[in-house]
C-alpha cells in the first residue's frame, strides 16, 4: 500500500521541478529547435519547388528552341525557294529579251541586206546597160567601117522590114 | 499506435509471468524472514520495541549473519529513501526538510540518523523508521499522532535522481539548441542528429496525427513529458550512482505528470468538449448517468496514465531485482549465469519499455488533448 501512496514531498518537488523544466526547455530548447527544424524544412521545400520550376522552365525553353529552329529552317527553305524562282525568272526574262533582240537585229540585217542587194542590182543593171551600149557601139563602129557592109546591112534590114 | 499496443500487451504478459514467479519466491522468503526475526529477537533478548529489534537486525546484517529477504531488499530498492545508497555501507546523506505544526520548517542532513540508528534532536526528536521520519515522544517511543502531522519535503533519493535527470535533459537540449543556432539551415551533426529524429518523431507521429493543426501550441509540453519520462526511465535502469532510482516507478511522480496532463487537457478543452461532457448527445433521461460517466472519464484517463507508467517501470525494476535475488536465495554462484542471462534480457526489454512508456504517455496525452481541442465530431 505504501508503494501506491504518493508522498507529499515527492509530489511537491516533482511539480516544481517539472514546471521549471518545462519553462526552461520551452524558452531555451524547444522554441529554437522547433523553429530551426521548421525553417530548414521550409528551405528544403522551397529549394525542391525551385528545382521543379527550373526543370519546367528548362523544358519550356528547349521546346521553344526547337520551335524557333523549326521556324528558322522553314524560313530558310522559303527564302531559298524564292531565290530560285527569282533566278529562274531573271534567266528566262534575259533569255527572251536576248531572243527578241537577236530577232530584231536579224530582221534589220535582212532589210539592210535586201537594200544593199537592190542597190547593187540597180547599179549592176546600169553598168550592164552602159557596157552593152558601149560594146554595141564598138561592134557597130567596127562593122560599119566599109561601105559595102553598110549597104548590105541596110539592105538586110530593109529585107527584114519587108518581111514584117 | 497499433504496434505499441501489441508491444504493451506482450510486455504486460511477461510482467504477469514474472510477477507470479516473484510472488512464489517472496512467499518462501517471507516464511524464512519470520523464523529469522524470531531467532534474532530470541538471541539478542534486549528487544523492548520492534524498532530495537530492527536495529539489532541491522547489526546482524553488518556482521553478515542475516538471512536474505528478497521482498525487503526489493521493496527497499523500489521505495524512496532519505539516503542514496552508493556501495557496501556507504550512502550519500541527503537533506531532510520537514515541516511540523509546532516546529515549523527544519532542514538537516539525513546523515544524523546513521541509517536509522540514532535520533535527531531538532525542535522535535526525529527518528527514521522504515525510511519514514517520525516524531519521538518524551517517553522515547514514536508519537504516532505527532508523526502523522509531519510534512516531509526532504530531498529524497528520487528527488535527487530527478534533479540529475533534469540536469542531463537541460544540458543535452540547451546544447542542441545552441547547435541549431550555430548551424542555421545546415544538416544536423553529433548530438543534434541523434535528438532531431526523436523530436520530429514526437511532432510528426505523436502530436500532428492526434491533435491536428493546433499541435504547435502543445509541442513544448509533449516534448518535455516525453524526454523527462524517457531520460528518467533510462537513468533508472543504470544500477550505479547517479542512476538506479525508481523515479518514474514512483506513484508520486506519475501522479504529478498525469495531473499536469489533466490540467492541460481540461484548460484547453473547447465548447464541443464540455458539451460532450455535460450535454451528451443521448436521450435526456440518460443525462444523469452519462454526465457522471463523463466526469469520471475526465479523471480516469489521467489516472490510467499514472498507473500505467508507475506499474510498468516498477514491474521492470522488481523483475530485474528478483532475478538478481535468485543468486542470494539459492546461495550459489551456479545460478548466476542463468540469472545474469535473464537480467540481460530484461534490461534490453526494459530499454524498449523505457522508450515505449514515454511514447505511450506522450501519445495518450496528445490523444486526450486532441479530443479536447477537436472542432466538431
Weakest-pLDDT range from A22-36, A149-163, B142-156, B312-326: A149-163
For A28, which residue in chain B has the nearest alpha carbon? B174
CB contact under 8 A, B314 and A33: no
CB contact under 8 A, B196 and A2: no
Mean pLDDT value of segment B86-96: 85
CB contact under 8 A, A21 and B176: no
Q: Are B361 and B225 in contact (CB under 8 A)?
A: yes
- Does the pLDDT at position B134 exceed 70? yes
Residue B166 touches chain A, beta carbons under 8 Å = yes
Task: State the Cα–Cα distance between residues B222 and B191, nearest whole angstrom.
Answer: 20
pLDDT of B30 reads 44
- Taking only residues 145 to 164 of chain B, the set having a beta carbon closer than 8 angstroms to any beta carbon of chain A reads 151-156, 158-159, 162-163
pLDDT of B48 reads 36
Partners of A39 on chain B (C-beta within 8 Å) are 184-185
CA of A54 to nearest chain B CA: how many angstroms apart? 22
First vs last Cα of chain B: how many Å apart?
21
Mean pLDDT value of segment B286-312: 92
Task: State the Cα–Cα distance between residues B19 and B13, nearest whole angstrom.
Answer: 10
CB contact under 8 A, A17 and B75: no
Q: Are B150 and B128 in contact (CB under 8 A)?
A: no
Q: Which three cell numbers stand for residue B259?
A: 495531473
Q: What is the mean pLDDT of chain B?
A: 82
- Cα–Cα nearest to B276, from B154, B339, B368: B368
Mean pLDDT value of segment B223-244: 91
Residue the block writes with cell 509541442 = B219
Q: Where are the alpha helices (DSSP H) in chain A?
A: 8-25, 31-143, 147-163
First vs last Cα of chain A: how many Å apart?
196
Kindly provide the ipTM of the predicted complex, given to two decimals.
0.78
pLDDT of B47 reads 34
Between B219 and A150, whose confidence is greater? Answer: B219
Beta bridge partners of B93: B83
Beta bridge partners of B136: B125, B142
Q: Are B124 and B100 in contact (CB under 8 A)?
A: yes
Task: State the Cα–Cα distance between residues A10 and B151, nearest whole angstrom.
Answer: 11
Q: Give the residue numbers in A contacting B (CB under 8 Å), as ranges.
A: 2-15, 17-18, 20-22, 24-26, 28-34, 36-37, 39-40, 43
Task: State the Cα–Cα distance between residues B74 and B88, nearest whole angstrom.
Answer: 16
Task: State the Cα–Cα distance between residues B60 and B66, nearest whole angstrom.
Answer: 6
Q: Would you tell me how many other CB atoms lie within 10 Å of the CB of residue B353?
A: 23
Task: State the Cα–Cα distance between residues B331 and B87, nearest whole angstrom.
Answer: 21
pTM, full prediction: 0.71
Q: Provide the pLDDT confidence category of residue B308 given band limits of 50, 70 and 90.
A: very high
Q: Which residues neighbour B169 within 8 Å (Cβ) at sequence distance 6 or greater?
A: A21, A25, B227, B228, B231
- Does the pLDDT at position B335 exceed 60? yes
Interface size between A and B, measured as CB pairs under 8 A: 118
Q: Which residue of B107, B253, B309 is the best one to mutate when testing the A interface, meaning the one whose CB has the most A CBs within 10 A? A: B253
Residue B97 touches chain A, beta carbons under 8 Å = yes
- Does the pLDDT at position B269 exceed 50? yes
Q: Which residues neighbour B104 within 8 Å (Cβ) at sequence distance 6 or greater?
A: B123
- Does the pLDDT at position A136 exceed 90? no
- Does the pLDDT at position B147 exceed 80? yes
pLDDT digits (tens, 9 = 90+) for B109-121: 888 888 778 888 8
Partners of A31 on chain B (C-beta within 8 Å) are 220
β pairing state of B104-109 and B90-93: unpaired
Q: Provide the pLDDT confidence category of residue B196 given band limits of 50, 70 and 90.
A: very high
Q: Are B340 and B348 in contact (CB under 8 A)?
A: no
Per-domain residue ranges of chain A: 8-160
Task: State the Cα–Cα distance between residues B223 and B199, nearest whole angstrom.
Answer: 7
Q: Are B73 and B36 in contact (CB under 8 A)?
A: no
User: Mind giving me the DSSP string for B12-44?
Assistant: HHHHHHHHHHHHHHHHHHHHHHHHHHHHHHHHH
- Per the document, the length of chain B is 377
Between B20 and B327, whose confidence is greater? Answer: B327
CB contact under 8 A, B159 and A13: yes
Task: State the Cα–Cα distance between residues B362 and B1, nearest whole angstrom.
Answer: 12
CB contact under 8 A, B156 and A18: no
- B268 phi-psi bin (left φ>0, alpha ψ -120 to 50, beta other): alpha
Weakest-pLDDT range from B56-65, B242-251, B323-332: B56-65
CB contact under 8 A, A6 and B251: yes
Q: Provide the pLDDT confidence category of residue B304 given band limits of 50, 70 and 90.
A: very high
CB contact under 8 A, A10 and B228: no
Partners of A22 on chain B (C-beta within 8 Å) are 220-221, 224
Q: Would you tell me how many other CB atoms lie within 10 Å of the CB of residue A31?
A: 14
Amino acid at each position: 500500500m505504501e508503494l501506491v501512496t504518493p508522498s507529499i514531498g515527492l509530489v511537491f518537488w516533482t511539480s516544481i521541478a517539472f514546471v521549471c523544466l518545462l519553462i526552461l526547455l520551452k524558452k531555451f530548447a524547444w522554441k529554437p529547435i522547433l523553429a530551426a527544424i521548421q525553417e530548414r524544412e521550409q528551405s528544403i521545400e522551397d529549394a525542391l519547388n525551385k528545382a521543379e520550376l527550373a526543370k519546367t522552365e528548362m523544358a519550356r525553353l528547349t521546346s521553344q528552341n526547337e520551335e524557333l529552329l523549326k521556324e528558322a529552317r522553314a524560313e530558310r527553305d522559303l527564302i531559298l525557294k524564292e531565290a530560285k524562282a527569282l533566278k529562274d525568272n531573271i534567266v528566262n526574262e534575259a533569255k527572251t529579251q536576248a531572243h527578241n533582240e537577236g530577232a530584231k537585229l536579224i530582221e534589220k540585217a535582212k532589210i539592210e541586206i535586201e537594200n544593199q542587194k537592190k542597190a547593187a542590182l540597180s547599179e549592176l543593171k546600169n553598168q550592164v546597160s552602159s557596157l552593152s551600149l558601149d560594146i554595141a557601139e564598138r561592134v557597130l563602129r567596127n562593122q560599119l567601117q566599109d561601105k559595102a557592109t553598110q549597104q548590105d546591112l541596110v539592105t538586110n534590114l530593109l529585107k527584114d522590114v519587108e518581111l514584117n | 499506435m497499433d504496434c505499441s499496443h501489441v508491444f504493451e500487451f506482450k510486455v504486460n504478459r511477461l510482467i504477469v509471468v514474472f510477477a507470479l514467479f516473484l510472488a512464489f519466491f517472496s512467499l518462501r522468503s517471507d516464511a524464512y524472514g519470520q523464523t529469522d526475526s524470531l531467532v534474532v529477537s530470541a538471541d539478542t533478548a534486549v528487544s523492548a520495541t520492534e524498532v530495537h529489534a530492527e536495529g539489532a537486525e541491522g547489526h546482524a546484517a553488518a556482521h553478515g549473519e542475516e538471512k536474505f529477504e528478497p521482498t525487503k531488499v526489493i521493496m527497499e530498492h523500489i521505495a524512496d529513501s532519505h539516503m542514496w545508497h552508493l556501495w557496501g555501507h556507504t550512502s550519500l546523506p541527503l537533506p531532510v526538510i520537514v515541516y511540523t505544526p509546532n516546529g515549523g520548517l527544519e532542514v538537516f542532513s539525513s546523515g544524523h540518523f546513521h541509517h536509522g540508528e540514532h535520533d535527531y534532536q531538532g525542535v522535535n526528536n526525529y527518528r527514521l523508521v522504515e525510511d519514514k521520519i517520525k516524531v519521538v515522544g518524551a517517553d522515547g517511543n514514536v508519537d504516532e499522532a505527532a508523526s502523522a502531522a509531519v510534512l516531509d519535503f526532504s530531498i529524497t533519493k528520487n528527488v535527487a535522481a530527478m534533479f540529475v535527470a533534469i540536469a542531463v535533459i537541460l544540458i543535452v537540449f540547451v546544447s542542441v539548441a545552441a547547435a541549431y543556432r550555430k548551424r542555421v539551415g545546415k544538416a544536423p551533426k553529433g548530438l543534434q542528429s541523434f535528438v532531431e529524429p526523436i523530436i520530429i518523431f514526437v511532432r510528426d507521429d505523436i502530436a500532428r496525427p492526434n491533435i491536428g493543426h493546433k499541435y504547435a501550441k502543445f509541442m513544448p509540453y509533449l516534448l518535455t513529458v516525453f524526454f523527462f519520462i524517457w531520460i528518467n526511465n533510462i537513468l533508472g535502469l543504470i544500477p550505479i550512482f547517479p542512476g538506479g532510482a525508481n523515479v518514474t516507478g514512483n506513484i508520486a511522480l506519475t501522479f504529478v505528470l498525469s495531473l499536469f496532463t489533466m490540467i492541460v487537457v481540461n484548460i484547453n478543452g473547447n465548447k464541443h468538449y464540455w458539451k460532450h461532457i455535460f450535454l451528451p448527445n443521448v436521450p435526456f433521461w440518460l443525462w444523469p448517468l452519462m454526465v457522471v460517466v463523463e466526469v469520471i472519464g475526465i479523471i480516469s484517463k489521467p489516472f490510467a496514465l499514472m498507473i500505467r507508467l508507475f506499474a510498468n517501470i516498477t514491474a521492470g525494476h522488481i523483475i530485474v531485482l528478483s532475478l538478481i535475488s535468485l543468486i542470494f536465495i539459492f546461495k550459489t554462484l551456479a545460478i548466476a549465469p542463468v540469472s545474469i542471462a535473464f537480467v540481460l534480457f530484461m534490461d534490453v526489454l526494459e530499454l524498449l519499455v523505457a522508450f515505449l512508456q514515454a511514447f505511450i504517455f506522450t501519445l495518450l496525452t496528445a490523444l486526450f488533448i486532441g479530443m479536447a481541442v477537436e472542432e466538431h465530431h
